[in-house]
Structure 1
Amino acid sequence: MSIMSDEVYSHGHHTSVTSAHATRRASDSAGYLLEHLSSGMDLLDVGCGPGSITADFAALLDPGRVIGMDRSEDVVALAERTYAGVENLHFRTGNVYDLDLEDESVDVVHAHQVLQHLTDPVAALREMHRVTRPGGIIAVRDADFHAMAWYPPTPELDEWMETYQRLARSNRAEPDAGRHLLAWAHEAGLAEVEASSSNWLYATAERRRWHADTWAERVLSSAFADQTLERGLADRAALERMAAGWRRWGESPDGWFLIPCGELIIRV
């Protein structure tokens, strides 16, 4: 994510994280924004990760300029390798609180699952506003962890949720960001706001197992594991238990996991 150097990204950039993020597309993660886009627009994608959504924007907006920005040099390098040769697409490292762009220099600023990881999302929104042209759009989308729902009941997932909440908040972040987006926009002085929501649903055998395996690996191997152990929020046995619970849930033929996301279209 594109965040300040002294902030901590609770997920980190382990392969289990970046590989999952690389499966996201504009159609399933930015559908609320697509009707507002047209060819020739310039777009900044803040916290672009491995760039799959960003590349979709580049195809839609060509010949408009699309910039993907992320804090992680490694992730930016991955995105550059993956999408080398796309002429209107460029990636760079950057800081969401101090964007390396002139005032009013892009038509759209997009941030997907970014604000939830920041200690000052209101300041980030103000900086996004600075670089957006009059008549342009700021588009943000974030999950709401406490609003997630799953079936069948799985105690290890309850434990995972509690642990994740504690970890994210120890990083001074807001894991339930989806429900806060409107308030943050208003606090940033952004008045013309259209709110919506959409979901990711994991309820087929393939998607269920993929989601379960992804999170089981994160629980054991990503920054989630490292930070949780370092801060004494859980021990290795607890992480093993959570990972096993994820995998058991993923094998249930009745398994259902719903991730609701809040969304804003902010007109500048």
Structure 2
Amino acid sequence: MNTAYVHGYNPRENIRLQDQATTLVDLLHSDTTFPVGSRVLEAGCGVGAQTVTLAKNSPGASIVSVDISEHSVEQAELKIRAAGLANVRFQQGDILQLPFASESFDHVFVCFVLEHLKEPGTALQKLKSYLRPGGTITVIEGDHGSAYFHPDSDAAQAAIQCQVELQSRAGGNALIGRSLYPLLVAAGYRDVWVSPRMVYADSSKPELVDGFTKNTFTAMIEGVRQSAVEKGIIDPAMFDKGIEDLYRTTEPDGTFCYTFFKGMGKA
């Protein structure tokens, strides 16, 4: 799988991913459960931020979680061990070249992975080959073009666009959420269904202001500053103003919206 993880592999990113998973668990996973005895493939588990929720929601399922990064797999194993969960097995591997037999899983789960791939459609087709007939896939992706906020800010939008541009240059697509339906249909899945999951944060929802606006979204954008400046995408002063304005949306009179997309289909 020829791709680059634009957010980087570092302790701060690990913390951001965990904040994201914890904050959004109900929004994204209240309807993510798998039957007792089913075999589930989590493709692209990263540091296990979503794996813990999968394992807790479906204690009777057998989950195999894979990621291309050996370090991420090690971090994910530590999370599962700390949570006392025993229904997950980890394996390092490229999701385009996994050593599993065809039709060997009942369900596939993919979260925040397709956005980083040069050929997400090819990945979806390959993952379909691991599903038994009638098996299901669940895909969750964000869409940075869905971010809007008050007070509005051209500088903040420019800072967000830096992340979109960097991900595009790395071969990914930070706007992929809006494309889930056609991607799944083109990959051959049946009965495809996509639902938007909006995060809306204002001062009446302090847990979302801290967990999502500050510690997930703004932290993600802030993390690309060096790369964006070095590649000449933005002036440093403009970027810093954009981050300042994103934090401004977390004040008592500010608001922030962002939409995730959750898609499902059958093999």
TM over 0.5: yes
Structure-2-length-normalised TM-score: 0.87
| CA–CA distance in structure 1, aligned partners of residues 215 and 244 of structure 2 | 10
Contiguous gaps of at least 5 residues in structure 1: none
| CA–CA distance in structure 2, aligned partners of residues 59 and 219 of structure 1 | 30
Query: After TM superposition, which residue ranges in structure 1, 4 or more long, deviate above 6 angstroms?
Result: none
1:13 corresponds to which residue? 9
**How far is 1:123 from its partner?**
0.5
| CA–CA distance in structure 2, aligned partners of residues 107 and 90 of structure 1 | 16
1:43 corresponds to which residue? 40
Of stretches 87-96 and 114-123 in structure 1, the one that deviates more from structure 2 is 87-96
Of stretches 73-82 and 118-127 in structure 1, the one that deviates more from structure 2 is 73-82
- Confirm whether residue 81 of structure 1 aligns to residue 78 of structure 2: yes
Alpha-carbon deviations, 1:212-237, whole Å to 9, x = none? 255554444x4x23432342213444
Q: Which amino acid aligns with 2:99?
A: D
Q: Percent identity of the aligned residues?
A: 24
Is residue 43–residue 67 contact of structure 1 (8 Å, CA) maintained in 2? yes
What is the SS of the residue equivalent to 1:123? helix
What is the SS of the residue equivalent to 1:83? helix
Alpha-carbon deviations, 1:154-189, whole Å to 9, x = none? 333111122222212212222111111111112212
| CA–CA distance in structure 2, aligned partners of residues 162 and 52 of structure 1 | 25
**How far is 1:98 from its partner?**
1.6
1:208 corresponds to which residue? 209
Q: Which amino acid aligns with 1:208?
A: V
Contiguous gaps of at least 5 residues in structure 2: none
* Cα distance change of structure 1 residues 187 and 153 upon mapping to structure 2, 3 Å threshold: same
**How far is 1:109 from its partner?**
0.5
| CA–CA distance in structure 2, aligned partners of residues 263 and 207 of structure 1 | 19
| CA–CA distance in structure 2, aligned partners of residues 239 and 138 of structure 1 | 38
Residues 1-268 of structure 1 mapped to structure 2, 5 A cutoff: 4=1, 6-23=2-19, 24=21, 26-34=25-33, 37-84=34-81, 85-203=84-202, 204-210=205-211, 211-220=213-222, 222=223, 224-250=224-250, 252-268=251-267
| CA–CA distance in structure 2, aligned partners of residues 196 and 150 of structure 1 | 21
| CA–CA distance in structure 2, aligned partners of residues 53 and 215 of structure 1 | 17
Alpha-carbon deviations, 1:17-67, whole Å to 9, x = none? 221222315533233433xx2222111112222224222222333332112
Q: Which amino acid aligns with 1:156?
A: A
